[in-house]
């Protein structure tokens, strides 16, 4: 065993956990860790321009790579600035470790300079958190933090590290494995439940697979596809589940819920069996809960028991890892089920019905001469990137148009703040994703409102020479809120219209990046090409139809069949 | 419906506030909460009385279990169980009522633990409904101060024939 200071333990733990990059911003209470990080020199540090950006970047890195994202901030305001990023990661179950500096233990509770109770503040938005009072606990806490962050239902874990603990010396005994008596997520699904689920599948005439972010987190996309193909069931995905099943697959009905496809919502309303995989029946998906899937039996696979039976009554709960559960279901289907042709035949009437819905109201938009339609921009972006880019989004209409019109075929290619809906997420997340996946094209699709929430990270992207691209769908409105005002608030656009927006092309140039803009439809392709082909950071701005809406739309609180259509 | 939960939790700073935070954050209610050490110094035992329909209780139990620090949750009110609460009651006891208070103590098997010319302080232990009954009876006489511990509970062992 070796003796070392707390600050060194942090760096050694990073190495043991395979951390290759951390995102952060320094300050007095974390200066010692920074000093050690710099002198050690093995771990890449990305200096952001705002701690919220560090947290989102760590999150984007985690979503894109499946590894734990790490960020560092100082005490007080540094720590509070990370809170939105932590809550965003928590809402979407993203594995993250956040290290914050804290005033020396002797000053804690004294309202010392830059003291804030960050452990208290983040208790409801972390999976777990720690205030380290003694350096002898630090190796164990570091180990636990990474383990808790990535196991079970993943989530952010915060470690608050007082300055004196950073500088105290102790034994660095870093266990390879740990067991926590009070924390044992159920990973292995119960065989009896699998058997019961299979019986329901066998009896169903109109099943649907409803896949959520859990499929992506559990790396279960291959198994999901296998199951879907072997029983020939239609698949719909939540916003978080997009990419968990190929969007271009003939069995994909696209996204469901508030801005889901007509076909997916109708199928959910008429199904006799929902096979929910890593999804949580969020209100944006169910709409008015009393009217949700009235005739359906429900099989619900989730690693988190609290997600099951929270919003809807479930017939067969299966607690466990999605991938393991799907594997077992596939095995049951192969061993006991009908051959694939027979499954297919069995569902002919159901598929006829589904195809009829899909043909009646496919995703669409109206072309208007001389005006750029945002959906068209996304379609072109999809074409030009051949569907192979990592797309991050901001929040609002830009997010929904992306979800609808970019066909995500691969997991970890759509990074979006689904649970919390955090404007400002997309751009720093793109920076994190690009750090993790240097060979991928990474594009943030943004609104003119959201992009201004973390625009300062332009400097970070430039400094790191990351070729992140930004597509701004500029409607000079907080578009999604405006849409609600148009539909439900007498068209009174309270506080949603911007009278001043920066010239984004010149803004890009001010940071040393490239900027391009299009005001006519015929310029769209050219601007996208120029932007995507340019070497470094580029902003592509599109002056879109100002009052374009996102449709279909299920008004909040209405049944999902009561869709407003294009 | 009322439920009495027995929760074993790691004896770490913050564990209790995680639990109370969970209840306030999710709008569950806590009717009483009682925390103390166990034989194992690294664990605390917590008895929590809450209410809600079966779905809410199911959620509460699952949410408690989800906390990293929570070792075990048992809904003791699911089966046969014993529950006890203790209260200290300072009650007015002047000429005409002094004897009456003592009589009541006798009937309910309470103990007088402090005496002053104008008050008795009595100690009472029992299930919650017994405490309620005594408080109802003492109210007209005049309760000056009241301190209650909250309920603690334990499942009954199965009786073997
Ligand atoms: C941090 C934050 N503040 C407020 C909101 C509420 N909100 C949701 S969508 C939206 C409008 C977003 O406008 P913009 O970024 O321009 O995108 P658009 O909808 O026009 O595509 C707002 C204000 C939010 N989601 N996040």
Ligand 1 neighbourhood includes A6 CB (under 6 angstroms): no
Question: Does residue A114 carry a catalytic annotation?
Answer: yes
pLDDT at position A342 is 87
Residue A299: closest CA among A233, A356, A380: A233
Distance CA A553, CA A539 (A): 29
A327 touches B: beta carbon within 8 Å:
no
Ligand 1 neighbourhood includes A481 CB (under 6 angstroms): yes
What angle in degrees, to the nearest 10, is found between the helix axes of A138-150 and A6-16?
A: 30
Contacts of A328 by beta carbon, 8 Å cutoff, 6+ apart: A189, A191, A194
Question: Does residue A38 carry a catalytic annotation?
Answer: no
Instruction: Answer yes or no: are the C-beta atoms of A170 and A301 closer than 8 Å.
Output: no
How far separated are the first and last CA of chain A, in Å rounded?
Answer: 67
Distance CA B20, CA A489 (A): 39
Q: Which of A212-221, A258-267, A510-519, B98-107 has the lowest mean pLDDT?
A: B98-107
Residue A339 pLDDT > 90: no
Q: Tell me the average pLDDT across A510-526.
A: 98
pLDDT at position B29 is 93
Contacts of A522 by beta carbon, 8 Å cutoff, 6+ apart: none
pLDDT at position B161 is 63
pLDDT at position B85 is 96
Binary contact (B68, A183; C-beta < 8 A): yes
A148 touches B: beta carbon within 8 Å:
yes
Q: Tell me the average pLDDT across B75-79.
A: 93
Q: Tell me the average pLDDT across A492-520.
A: 97
- Whose Cα sits closest to atom 23 in ligand 1? A478
DSSP string spanning A500-545? Answer: ----HHHHHHHTT-EEEEE-SHHHHHHHHHHHHHSSS-EEEEEEB-
Ligand 1 neighbourhood includes A397 CB (under 6 angstroms): yes
Q: Taken in order A258, A263, A268, A274, is the CA torsion positive or negative?
A: negative
Instruction: Answer yes or no: are the C-beta atoms of A449 and A502 closer than 8 Å.
Output: no
How high is the mean pLDDT of chain A?
A: 97
How far separated are the first and last CA of chain B, in Å rounded?
Answer: 32
pTM, to two decimals: 0.96
| Residue that has been written with the tokens 């339609």 in this structure | A373
Pairing of strands A514-518, B70-75: unpaired
Question: Does residue A113 carry a catalytic annotation?
Answer: yes
Mutate to test the pocket of ligand 1, among A284, A420, A423 (most ligand atoms within 8 A of CB): A423
- Tens of pLDDT, residue by residue over B29-50, are 999 999 999 999 999 999 999 9
3-state secondary structure (DSSP) of residue A521: helix
Ligand 1 neighbourhood includes A394 CB (under 6 angstroms): yes
Pairing of strands A156-162, A128-131: parallel
Question: Taking the CB of residue B40, how many other CB atoms lie within 10 A of it?
Answer: 11
pLDDT at position A379 is 98
> Which among B13, B58, B66 has the least Cβ separation from residue A309?
B58
Instruction: Answer yes or no: are the C-beta atoms of B134 and B110 closer than 8 Å.
Output: yes
Distance CA A474, CA A542 (A): 6
pLDDT over 70 percentage in chain B:
99
Q: Which helix (H) or strand (E) holds A472?
A: strand A469-474
Q: Closest ligand 1 atom, CA of A401?
A: 21
- pLDDT band, residue B135 (cuts 50/70/90): very high
User: Which tokens in the block code for residue A68?
Assistant: 């734990």
User: Which tokens in the block code for residue B94?
Assistant: 């002047």
């Amino acid at each position: 065993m070796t003796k070392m200071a707390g600050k060194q333990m942090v760096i050694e733990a990073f190495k043991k956990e395979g951390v290759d990059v951390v995102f952060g911003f320094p300050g007095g209470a974390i200066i010692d860790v920074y000093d050690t990080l710099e002198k050690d020199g093995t771990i890449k540090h990305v200096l952001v321009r705002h701690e919220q950006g560090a947290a989102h970047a760590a999150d984007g890195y985690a979503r894109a790579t499946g590894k734990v994202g790490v960020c560092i901030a100082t005490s007080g305001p540094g720590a509070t600035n990370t809170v939105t990023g932590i809550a965003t990661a928590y809402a979407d179950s993203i594995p993250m470790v956040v290290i914050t500096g804290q005033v020396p233990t002797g000053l804690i509770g004294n309202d010392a300079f830059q003291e804030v109770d960050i452990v208290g503040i983040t208790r409801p938005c972390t999976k777990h958190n720690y205030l380290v009072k003694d350096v002898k606990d630090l190796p164990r806490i570091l180990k636990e933090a990474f383990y808790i962050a990535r196991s079970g239902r993943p989530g952010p874990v915060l470690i608050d590290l007082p300055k004196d603990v950073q500088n105290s010396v102790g034994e660095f005994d870093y266990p390879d494995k740990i067991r926590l008596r009070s924390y044992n997520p159920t990973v292995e699904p119960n065989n009896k439940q699998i058997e019961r689920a299979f019986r329901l599948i066998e009896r169903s005439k109109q099943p649907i697979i409803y896949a959520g972010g859990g499929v992506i987190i559990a790396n279960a996309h291959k198994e999901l596809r296998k199951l879907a193909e072997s029983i020939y069931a239609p698949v719909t995905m939540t916003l978080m589940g997009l990419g968990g099943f190929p969007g271009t697959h003939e069995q994909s009905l696209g996204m469901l819920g508030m801005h889901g496809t007509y076909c997916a919502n109708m199928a959910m309303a008429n199904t006799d069996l929902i096979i929910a995989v890593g999804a949580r029946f969020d209100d944006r998906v169910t709409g008015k809960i009393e009217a949700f899937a009235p005739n359906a039996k429900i099989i619900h696979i989730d690693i988190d028991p609290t997600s099951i039976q929270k919003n809807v009554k479930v017939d067969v709960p299966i607690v466990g890892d999605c991938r393991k559960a799907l594997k077992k279901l596939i095995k049951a289907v192969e061993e006991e089920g009908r051959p694939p042709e027979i499954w297919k035949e069995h569902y002919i009437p159901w598929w006829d019905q589904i195809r009829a819905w899909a043909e009646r109201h496919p995703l669409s938009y109206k072309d208007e001469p001389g005006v750029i339609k945002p959906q068209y921009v996304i379609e072109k972006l999809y074409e030009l990137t051949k569907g192979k880019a990592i797309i991050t989004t901001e929040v609002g209409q830009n997010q929904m148009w992306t979800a609808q019109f970019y066909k995500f075929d691969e997991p970890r290619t759509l990074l979006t703040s689904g649970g919390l809906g955090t404007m400002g997420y997309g751009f720093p997340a793109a920076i994190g994703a690009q750090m993790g996946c240097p060979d991928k094209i990474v594009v943030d699709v943004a609104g003119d409102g959201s992009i201004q929430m973390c625009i300062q990270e332009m400097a970070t992207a430039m400094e790191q020479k990351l070729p992140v691209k930004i597509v701004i769908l500029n409607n000079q409105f907080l578009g999604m809120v405006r849409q609600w005002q148009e539909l439900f608030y007498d068209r009174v656009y309270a506080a949603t219209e911007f009278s001043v927006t920066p010239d984004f092309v010149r803004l890009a140039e001010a940071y040393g990046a490239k900027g391009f803009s299009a005001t006519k439809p015929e310029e769209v392709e050219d601007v996208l090409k120029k932007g995507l082909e340019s070497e470094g950071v580029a902003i592509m701005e599109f002056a879109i139809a100002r009052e374009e809406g996102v449709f279909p739309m299920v008004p909040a609180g209405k049944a999902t069949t009561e869709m407003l259509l294009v | 419906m009322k439920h009495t939960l027995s929760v074993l939790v790691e004896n770490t700073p913050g564990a209790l506030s995680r639990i109370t935070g969970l209840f306030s954050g999710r709008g569950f209610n806590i009717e009483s909460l009682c925390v103390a050490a166990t034989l194992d110094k690294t664990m605390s035992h917590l008895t929590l009385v809450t209410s809600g329909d079966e779905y809410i209780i199911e959620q509460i139990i699952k949410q408690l279990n989800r906390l990293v620090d929570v070792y075990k949750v048992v809904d003791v009110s699911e089966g046969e169980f014993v529950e006890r609460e203790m209260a200290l009651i300072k009650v007015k006891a002047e000429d005409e009522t002094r004897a009456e208070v003592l009589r009541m103590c006798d009937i309910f098997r309470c103990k007088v633990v402090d005496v002053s010319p104008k008050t008795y302080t009595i100690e009472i232990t029992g299930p919650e409904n017994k405490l309620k009954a005594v408080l109802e009876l003492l109210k007209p006489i005049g309760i000056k101060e009241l301190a209650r511990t909250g309920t603690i509970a334990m499942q009954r062992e199965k009786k073997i024939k």
